[in-house]
Amino acid sequence: MFTHLWAYLRERKKFWLLPIIAAFVVFGGLLLVSPTNPYSPFIYTFF
Amino acid sequence: MASYLLGISCYYHDSAAVLLEDGIVVGAVQEERFTRKKHDASFPARSISYLLRERGVTLREVRAVVYYEKPFLTFERLIETHLEASPFGLRSFLASMPTWMKEKLFLERLLKRELAQLGAGPVPELKFSEHHLSHASSAFFPSPFADAAVLCADGVGEWATTSAWRGQGADLTPLWEIHFPHSLGLFYSTLTAYLGFKVNSGEYKVMGLAPYGKPRFADRMLENLLQLNSDGSFALNLRYFAFTKELQMFSPALEDLFGRRARRPEELLEPFHMDVAASLQLVLERALIPLARELRRQTSATRLCLAGGVALNCVANSKLLLESGFEDLWIQPSAGDAGGALGAALAYYHLAEKGERRVCHGDAQKGSYLGPSFKAVEIESFLRKNNVPFQKLTQEDMLSETSRYLDEGKIIGWFQGRMEFGPRALGHRSILADARGAELQKTLNLKIKFRESFRPFAPVVLAEDAPEIFEFDRPSPYMLFVAAVRPELRVPLAPADRTKFGIDQLNVVRSTYPAITHVDYSARLQTVSRDRNPILAQLLEVYRQRTQSSVLVNTSFNVRGEPIVCTPEDAYRCFRRTEIDVLVLENFIVTKESLPPSNQSEDWRSEFELD
């Protein structure tokens, strides 16, 4: 996954996203225990 | 030795799988048909298993699996959109992230794990296509055109909401894109939500509602909601749209603009709602036509291919055919995300592997009859096992009997051959009825389909008879165009009927085929020919011999909220729960009157969520 993520960041020249994604990984535990949302079929722009 | 590619779409909505053999589509199916959950987004395990089994191959023999979009690009859009909206949008951000952290960021691993569970041995190589490339490929490569412009319009896929392409031979070149949040699909969906219908399924109802109203809000929409630019591009005024930062489609400003709160689901439809629907439809057409004209000017192509959810708007498609300047139009019948599975596989085959393209007469979609079929022995075994009394006939007798039942005004559940790929039933999983019945639209809507009474029904007609009945000069095999009933077949309106408006127009007989004539004299036309659908063509021929007419009502074989039936068991269950009179499963006929009364506890409403 990380190889593909790095390849994507390089191709899109979006290195500034790296700290944000790293922050997600750090706080990912919190999000992983959150229940899956009930909105996904309706507001699919977010999902 | 044949070479296989598998295309898949899943985890958003309308999950599907498609199998290519040497670049030719040999099977395609949506997962909802197996799981019986409408718009099912789960991994299409059962679809893939069916496709491999049907072709007699294993996953090991598949060269590559191609997923229909690139999730990192979608994630990038989410992050950038929320950063732009911050400090607002925290709620929607937190709501969306668990799905991303649990699944979509690790999609490759997830897909490989799911694929590994489908068979022993190594998982095929996994490839990713871009969302709009998948749509564009699904529109161009199966089309009958060697050279065409391609226009894709949907809600959003990664960043793109609208994209233009040039297809030549086996090549497809991107021309331009319009990016999120400026989206014709989301514009239409937002107003669909305002009108109290579900996003991603209610758009079709809005299109059907539009002819009841007057487009008196079109100018207001164009002045406030959607800006149309001279180069064909457009922009949404985000003041009225909330989908970039909240868990709803529209902001309170939209309600203020119309001076009415949004309609709640199942509330009474008033003339106001019909006028909003009529205005929305007109504005969509006014946006699409300049886009297509600009594409015509840029490419000088004479043919246009369409895909993306917006291409399922058959009223707009007909306007495009008449007013865009293109001589011909081909639309992918599975224009939504399910069709992305087909496009992803075709894009990989033609663009990455440089596979040859053979342009087919008609098209390469095979009538979209690409799903499961059932042998006579399987159907007979099912009927016997369930103690269902049936008649087993020759094909000739079955056609003659079905034709007689139709002429008597009976409603037929018609189940033949391979199931359709795409949202429309095209005569293999259909409910058929006599189009001449004045009360039929109401009966079908309220007692068979259990859906809103305003919704129109589509005609199916022999291709050679179509020009005598409809103002349309070409085949329409996929029910993706509307055509007006010819003036000589229209019934003059009584003075009292002329002043009716809204739903009151519904019961007015407007033509010699009232069941399929909408309030504006239009009909969503399907033409049938022997080469694409021989069994339905033969039924229409036998019916014509009997009645001098080859027009029938064709609506999908399901009830409201239910995916179209897939198996004989699904068909029988639907038959039992509704007032369908006769079930025709290949050459087997089951009549309602031969059965004991249905068990009332088998209520479909408890099983299927209303759409």
- A2-43 residue pLDDT tens: 788 888 888 888 888 888 877 777 766 666 555 555 444 456
Distance between CA atoms of B124 and B564, rounded to whole angstroms? 31
CA distances B393 to B379, B415, B601, Å, are 13, 15, 32
Interface of B with A (CB under 8 A): 12-13, 39, 41, 70, 72-73, 76, 78-79, 92, 94-102, 104-106, 108-109, 155-156, 180-181, 186, 193, 198-200, 243-244, 247-249
Q: Residue B555 forms beta bridges with which residues?
A: B431
pLDDT at B501: 75
Residue for token pair 């080469």? B531
Using CA coordinates, name the residue in chain B closest to A31.
Answer: B98
- Residue A4 domain-assigned (yes or no): yes
Q: How many CB pairs under 8 A join A and B?
A: 79
Half-sphere exposure of A27 (CA within 13 A, CB side): 11
pLDDT classification of A47: cutoffs 50, 70, 90: low
The total number of structural domains that make up chain A = 1
Assign residue B535 a region: left if phi > 0, alpha if psi is -120 to 50, beta otherwise? alpha
Q: Measured between CA atoms, how close is B83 to chain A, in angstroms?
A: 11
Residue B448 to residues A26, B112, B445, B525, B575, Cα–Cα distance (Å): 54, 42, 6, 21, 9
**From A6, which residue of chain B is nearest by alpha-carbon distance?**
B72
pTM value > 0.80: yes
Determine contact, residues B6/B19, Cβ cutoff 8 Å: yes
- Residue at A45 is within a domain: no
What is the residue range of A24's domain? Answer: 1-31
* Beta-carbon count within 10 A of B173 CB: 13
Tell me if B4-132 shares its fold with B146-327. Answer: yes
Q: How far apart are CA B46 and CA B124, in angstroms?
A: 17
For residue B507, the model assigns a pLDDT of 79
State the pLDDT at residue A40.
46
Distance from CA of A4 to the nearest CA of B (A): 9
Which helix (H) or strand (E) segment holds residue B140: the answer is helix B131-140
The number of residues in chain B equals 611
Chain B CB within 8 Å of residue A34 CB? yes
Check CB contact under 8 Å for A47 and B99: yes
Q: What residue segments make up the domains of chain B, in order of their start?
A: 4-132, 146-327, 376-606
Q: d(Cα B27, Cα B44) in Å, to the nearest integer?
A: 13
CA trace torsion B497, B501, B503, B509 (10° rounding): 20
Closest by CA position to A43, among listed B309, B246, B38, B239: B246
Distance from B298 to chain A by nearest Cα, in Å? 28
Nearest chain B Cα to A25, which residue? B101
**CA-based nearest residue in chain A for residue B186:** A45
Q: Which residue of A has its CA nearest to B70?
A: A8
Dig out the tokens for B324 from the structure.
């865009």
Residue A44 covered by a domain: no
Which CATH architecture best describes the domain B376-606?
Answer: Alpha-Beta Complex (3.90)
Overall fold of domain B146-327: Nucleotidyltransferase; domain 5 (3.30.420)
Buried b / exposed e along B140-168 (16+ C-beta atoms within 10 A): bbbbbbeebbbbbbbbbbbbbbbbbbbbe
Contact A12 B76 (CB under 8 A): yes
Kindly indicate whether the ipTM for this predicted assembly is greater than 0.95, answering yes or no: no
Question: Is the bond leading into A41 cis (omega within 30 degrees of zero)?
Answer: no
What's the confidence (pLDDT) of residue A41? 43
Helix and strand numbers, DSSP H then E, in chain B? 20, 21
**Adjacent-strand bridge partners of B484:** B522
Tell whether A41 is covered by a domain: no
Radius of gyration of chain B (CA): 24
> Residue A45 and residue B244: Cβ atoms within 8 Å?
yes
Q: Which amino acid is at B102?
A: K
CA distance B33 to B525: 24
Contact list, A14 vs chain B (CB under 8 Å): 76
Chain A's closest residue to B127, CA to CA, is A4
The residue type found at B607 is E
Q: Give chain B positions within 8 Å (CB) of A24.
A: 97, 101
pLDDT of res. B95 = 84
Q: B98 and A44: CB-CB below 8 Å? A: no
The C-alpha atoms of residue B122 and residue B58 are separated, in whole angstroms, by 11
Select from A14, A40, A42 the Cβ nearest to the Cβ of B99: A40
Rounded to whole angstroms, the Cα distance separating B299 from B287 reads 19
Sheet holding B125-128, edge to edge: B24-30, B16-21, B4-9, B62-67, B125-128
Residues of chain B with pLDDT under 50: 601
Least Cα separation, residue A13 to chain B (angstroms): 12
Q: Fill in the amino acid letter for B197.
A: F
Task: Transcribe B533-567 into DSSP letters.
Answer: -HHHHHHHHHHHHHHS--EEEEEESS-TTSPPP-S
Tell me the fold of B4-132: Nucleotidyltransferase; domain 5 (3.30.420)
Q: What are the tokens at B132?
A: 């709009």
